[in-house]
A = this chain, B = another copy of it.
Amino acid sequence: MRVGILAIGTELLMGQTVNTNASYLSRELSEMGISVFYHYTVGDNPGRIQLHLNALLEQCDTVFTTGGLGPTLDDITKEVVANTLGLNVILDQHSLERIKERFGLFNKIMPESNIRQAYFPEGAVILDNDCGTAPACIITVKDTDKNIVVLPGPPKEMKHIFEKYIRSFLLEKNQQAMYSKYLSIYDLGESSVEDALMDLVINQTNPTIATYAGDGKVLLRITSSGLVKEMNEIAVEDMVAIVKSRIGSHVISENGDDIDKVILRKLIEKSLKIAFVESCTGGLLSYSLIKNPGSSDVIDSALVTYSNESKMREVGVRSETLQTYGAVSHQTCHEMVAGLAAKTGVDFAVSVTGVAGPTGGTREKPVGLVYIGIYDGGEILTFENHFTGDRETIQRRTVLKALKLLYDRLGSETN
């Protein structure tokens, strides 16, 4: 099966949006053994959309479009698809009701303009969108088995519809089965992961191995495809075992979960209470847990003690400690986490103090120097770290390291 992807939207050609949809779809399709031959991007212009739709239909079996399904006048994808194939657009009552309901959920009345989102080329298979107001659709080109898959532009909505409908549609069309596992790897860079697994990656045929790096996590995707479902599962599990025998201490999840979710689950399971006191990460550490549902069961409180005064006032860091060793030191980090634990009576506590930059670094305490303290039922450990990058990068890396240290402490108790 040959696929072409047509992204529609002037914002892409203005460089305001990066076309992550094309790479997401390409990755998913590649994993399924489907070849993507072209990515095209055009603006919200009917002539140019039609020209490129025709070019892709000529060369490919399935054409994906992304974008141009919104309620505004420049959203014209479905109309142009219909024109290109000589079809009418007709109102889908079910979609109209769903769009109205969605506005109703938020106590709003659907604006007139959103009616456009309920019109589709005649004969289209309509796919409900649970994440937005723009339903998607699949159109089969008359007298062929070619398809046009029309997807919304916002990546979250596009992915939702791909996951829910498109993957199974393509598998069925292709008569294939598929099994994947996603290992979440932390505290090990992408190139180190690749080095450790080099021979496996080079010799891969089935299962295939792919790494995706982002935000401090390396996601390792192991996929087997073939006619027999059980054979795929066995092949993937065997490969998981080999990977874990090499870099197991860095694998924190086998279903792609982020480390914050895994930690939260462990804390909830064990009914442990936790608190944070942060300086240079400014709340990012506590938010990394609190963004998740269920965090209220385990998080007592979090303090951002940014100034020296607040370090003394909130967690009882001693003035002499700050004067002798400075705010960024093992000693201050230790007193922060000790004071927090004493004050809150939690089971676990984490402290962070460092120089996130870009200014404020000195020769002894350069930008990127960060201390992380862990209180674990009486025992206190502090860790010195040297991170590189700009301010936000150092803040993110600090949070990831603190989470990994926390994970290791939590893990060592259960495993």
Of B29, B41, B43, B281, the contact of A22 (CB 8 Å cutoff): B41
**B291 close to A301 (CB less than 8 A):** no
Cα A22 to Cα B278 with chains together (Å): 38
CB distance from A181 to the nearest CB of B (A): 15
The yes or no answer to A309 lying at the interface (CB within 8 A) is yes
**B290 close to A286 (CB less than 8 A):** no
The yes or no answer to A128 lying at the interface (CB within 8 A) is no
CB distance from A353 to the nearest CB of B (A): 12
The yes or no answer to A241 lying at the interface (CB within 8 A) is no
The yes or no answer to A227 lying at the interface (CB within 8 A) is no
**B106 close to A360 (CB less than 8 A):** no
CB distance from A185 to the nearest CB of B (A): 15
Which residues of chain A from 3 to 30 have any CB-CB distance to chain B below 8 Å in the complex?
7, 10-20, 22-30
Shortest Cβ distance from A389 into B: residue: B106
Which residues of chain A from 267 to 319 have any CB-CB distance to chain B below 8 Å in the complex?
276, 278, 280-287, 289-296, 299-307, 309-310, 313-314
Of B19, B30, B276, B287, the contact of A23 (CB 8 Å cutoff): B19
The yes or no answer to A146 lying at the interface (CB within 8 A) is no
Cα A391 to Cα B296 with chains together (Å): 13
| CB contact under 8 A between A304 and B302, given known A13-B39, A30-B14, A388-B105 | yes
Cα A27 to Cα B194 with chains together (Å): 33
Cα A359 to Cα B295 with chains together (Å): 11
* Interface residue tally for chain A (C-beta within 8 Å): 85
Cα A106 to Cα B42 with chains together (Å): 43
**B41 close to A39 (CB less than 8 A):** yes
**B43 close to A19 (CB less than 8 A):** no
**A23 close to B27 (CB less than 8 A):** no
| CB contact under 8 A between A13 and B41, given known A306-B301, A307-B301 | no
The yes or no answer to A246 lying at the interface (CB within 8 A) is no
The yes or no answer to A206 lying at the interface (CB within 8 A) is no
Cα A10 to Cα B37 with chains together (Å): 9
Cα A19 to Cα B20 with chains together (Å): 8
The yes or no answer to A395 lying at the interface (CB within 8 A) is yes
Contacts of A357 in B (CB 8 A): 293
The yes or no answer to A212 lying at the interface (CB within 8 A) is yes
Which residues of chain A from 182 to 202 have any CB-CB distance to chain B below 8 Å in the complex?
191, 194
The yes or no answer to A249 lying at the interface (CB within 8 A) is no
**A299 close to B293 (CB less than 8 A):** no
**A191 close to B71 (CB less than 8 A):** yes
**B291 close to A391 (CB less than 8 A):** yes
CB distance from A265 to the nearest CB of B (A): 16
Cα A294 to Cα B359 with chains together (Å): 8
The yes or no answer to A54 lying at the interface (CB within 8 A) is no
Cα A194 to Cα B113 with chains together (Å): 12
**B306 close to A296 (CB less than 8 A):** yes
Of B12, B106, B306, B313, the contact of A343 (CB 8 Å cutoff): B313
| CB contact under 8 A between A26 and B15, given known A282-B283, A293-B357, A301-B306 | yes
The yes or no answer to A36 lying at the interface (CB within 8 A) is yes
The yes or no answer to A165 lying at the interface (CB within 8 A) is no
The yes or no answer to A257 lying at the interface (CB within 8 A) is no
Contacts of A291 in B (CB 8 A): 282, 284, 391-392, 395
Task: Give 7 nearest A-B pairs by CB, closest first.
Answer: A282-B290, A283-B283, A15-B27, A15-B26, A301-B310, A302-B304, A39-B41
